[in-house]
Amino acid sequence: MDADLWSLYGLMFRSRLFEEAITRLWNDGLISGEMHLGTGEEAIDAGIVAQLRDGDAMALDHRNTPALLMRGVDAVAILRELLGRPSGLCGGLGGHMHLASRQHLAAASGIVGGTGPAGVGFALAAKTLRPGTLAVSFFGEGAMNQGMLLESMNLASAWKLPALFVCKDDGWSITAASAEMTGGDLAERARGLGLETAEVDGLDVEAVWAAAEVAMSGIRAGGKPVFLRARCTHLEGHFLGFQLLRAVREPLKEAGSIAVPLAGSLLRPGGGSLAERVSGLREVLARMRAALADPARGEAGDPVARVRARLTDVARRESVERDVERAVASAVAEALEEHAP
């Protein structure tokens, strides 16, 4: 079967507009706390979710909005949850890192790596109660250094569970380059724990969709659990208002508060040798430069732009986009209507 690019684009475009609306609400102070977006990983979410069937479960991380929306969770209920309303998806009690929909067998956690064991438990229930269904764990490559995630891969292997581990690899463990924090190769780790592994371009929704089909049909047929690694870039960094991105987008506003104490400490008597200080300064500057100048944060790293460019029937595309824009705007208006005091 071929991927239906139009429906995949619809899912991705809707998710993007939805999260752009969330960004505005967050900037206006109507959403509190940290807000981790999935902008940049939509091709991974769409490719996986479009292959799910009734009874499949999802263990979601702190970037959970796209997958929930694509799975069919009510957009207004999600928004109201983020706004902290009693009528929200979780009664305003959970918040964006802890969204859950029992009906969809989907639950999120803000604990890095926590989706590994969560997916295994869902997979155990799937195998026992709903043969032919499976569970997906979503996580980033930073989580691959969390013991419980590796333990859960082994558990899925040992118990021959219908589990798919989806590693959304953006190269960043919060503010650290994952390459500097990780030994060895991730796929090799997963193979060493008895999983099948696959790698796919996480910006190419068609490729993710096809890889998910292969992985899931094997799992549903009783094959080994699968580790699927898909590379992407999170366009807003770790979370909205991410200090490192702010410092490059508004250098005049942010740089002083960083540079002044830094210079003071660098010159303070006592402490390391000159060489140690210089190497420390180099490390700080390199880290900031790397985060700021990540070239993938442009159009080339945007999966929505990429699939859009392939839809050459402009009239049809514009019509799809208009419908999505209207639907998202109406969901936001409906959620806010109740929010007004």
Partner 1 sequence: VRMMRFSEAIDDAISEAMAEDPRIIVYGEDVPLLRRNLLVRFGGDRVRGAPISEGAFLAAGVTAAMAGLRPIVEVYMADFLGVAVDALLNHASKVRTFSGGTWTAPLVVRVPCGAGYGDGGQHGQSLWGWLAHIPGLVVAVPSTPADAGGLMTAALRHEDPVVFMEHKLLSESWLEFLGSSGRRAVSFDVPAEGARGPCPRPWQPLPFGKAICRREGTDVTLASVGVGVHRALEAAVLLEKDGISAEVLDLRSVSPLDVDAIRASVSRTGGLVAVDEDYQGFGLTGELAAVVAEAGIPARFARVATSATIPYARNLEAQALPSAERIRRAGMGLAQGGTT
Binding stretches for partner 1 (CB under 8 A): 26-29, 32-34, 81, 84-86, 90, 92-98, 109-113, 142-143, 145-148, 173-176, 180-182, 239-244, 246, 254, 258, 261-262, 264-266, 268-273, 275-277, 279-281, 283-284, 287-288
Taking the complex as a whole, how short is the minimal distance between the CB of residue 310 and partner 1, in angstroms?
Answer: 35
Burial 94-129 (b: 16+ CB within 10 A, else e): bbbbbbbbeebbbbbbeebbbbbbbbbbbbbbbbee
Taking the complex as a whole, how short is the minimal distance between the CB of residue 205 and partner 1, in angstroms?
Answer: 28
In terms of Cα–Cα distance, which of 163, 153, 86 is closest to 124?
163
Q: Which is nearer to partner 1, 37 or 43 (CB)?
A: 37
CB neighbours of 96 closer than 8 A, spacing ≥ 6?
31, 33, 34, 35, 36, 62, 64, 65, 81, 82
Q: Which is nearer to partner 1, 92 or 171 (CB)?
A: 92
Taking the complex as a whole, how short is the minimal distance between the CB of residue 3 and partner 1, in angstroms?
Answer: 33
Q: Which is nearer to partner 1, 56 or 141 (CB)?
A: 141
CB neighbourhood size of 204 (10 A): 19
Q: Which is nearer to partner 1, 125 or 281 (CB)?
A: 281
Q: Which is nearer to partner 1, 14 or 238 (CB)?
A: 238
Q: Which is nearer to partner 1, 133 or 152 (CB)?
A: 152
Taking the complex as a whole, how short is the minimal distance between the CB of residue 208 and partner 1, in angstroms?
Answer: 24
Taking the complex as a whole, how short is the minimal distance between the CB of residue 274 and partner 1, in angstroms?
Answer: 10
Q: Which is nearer to partner 1, 133 or 173 (CB)?
A: 173
Phi/psi zone of residue 90: left (φ > 0), alpha (ψ -120 to 50 degrees), beta? alpha
H helices of the chain, where?
5-27, 42-49, 65-71, 75-82, 115-129, 147-158, 178-181, 186-192, 205-220, 243-249, 251-266, 274-292, 303-310, 314-339
Taking the complex as a whole, how short is the minimal distance between the CB of residue 339 and partner 1, in angstroms?
Answer: 11
Taking the complex as a whole, how short is the minimal distance between the CB of residue 56 and partner 1, in angstroms?
Answer: 25
Taking the complex as a whole, how short is the minimal distance between the CB of residue 220 and partner 1, in angstroms?
Answer: 31
- The phi and psi torsions of 67 (rounded to 5 degrees) equal -65, -40
CB neighbourhood size of 246 (10 A): 15
CB 51 within 8 A of CB 60: no
Give the Cα separation of 166 and 52 in Å (integer). 13
Q: Which is nearer to partner 1, 251 or 271 (CB)?
A: 271
